[in-house]
Structure 1
């Protein structure tokens, strides 16, 4: 059975575990390198990207996750997870480190502070999805290998990129795990299963 880990250092871990379980995969929290070894893919949840960065170093997961991603492990990041998968971060702390993998520039807290959090619909791969934005980033630049999967459809941020995919890596600026809509998680599960088929 496909096993997908959720990086369980900080953030909305439980919600991602629940959404993945509804997608007929085995979902496990990952806090140690040995637990990372036992999963086929990894979700990096929303939370606080600088805290996740520091805790990944403390729990000796930063380099192992970078290595697995470089070797082709599928990964999905939501909100802070999007920042952690970015090759470049604007408005981050000088000592902030990421896992990288997606050739993109992301701006932290682009939509504003906690009090500016909001719900809206976004266009995700041709579907209209409910989306929750909490101190969310957006993507300011994508490299040639990055496919834009979603944009904000209305308001002052209309047109801003909020979902991308590069190879086996997927990232969204919003939190699908908070809406009960499983389409983003199902998309990622399909990506993971296809990666497994391709690797055989």
Structure 2
């Protein structure tokens, strides 16, 4: 169940909810207040996100689930570090270059998040749940996601209003924590059948068992 929750919880907590729901407020921390420019940036961000989602979904069988989850979290942390640096520098110096850098990292975050997290939110929970668990398991996952969405909806606007760009520092820490948790708990489900996944989760170390199953076919191919 932990693995089923991971991509959905990460999807709500990695910072995308703030960017998606409160992009104008984020842009205001970089000095962007003109409504026409905000609309254009919003349109561009949506287009970048759509392209990234398509590319990520197309490549997920090659990149694998576990590496994608881990490195997407790391990339999101780097992006929020860039957003924080740009917005923080703008707040103290009013540098337009810093503001532009912060906005660029917002776009980069959108690409990284949607490349890795968006495809896995629907795919990974199903692969991690046994057939007889899927109904109740997915219901629990969605209930948990909606609870987190409720928190995002009401907490982060208050944070943006009171501490402005310092809000982004939380996501740097959290995304790195996500990567660490994923490293120790996320199993690799690529090219595994339901029966094989059951064996993996019954193993003493499911993560190690899943990685060994991925390596074994590759070694067989090399010996041929």
TM bucket (normalised to shorter chain) is under 0.3
The alignment's TM-score, normalised by the length of structure 2, stands at 0.24
Bigger CA radius of gyration: 2
The alignment's TM-score, normalised by the length of structure 1, stands at 0.26
Higher strand share goes to which structure? 1
Higher helix share goes to which structure? 2
Report 1 or 2 for greater relative contact order, CA contacts < 8 Å, sequence distance ≥ 6. Answer: 2
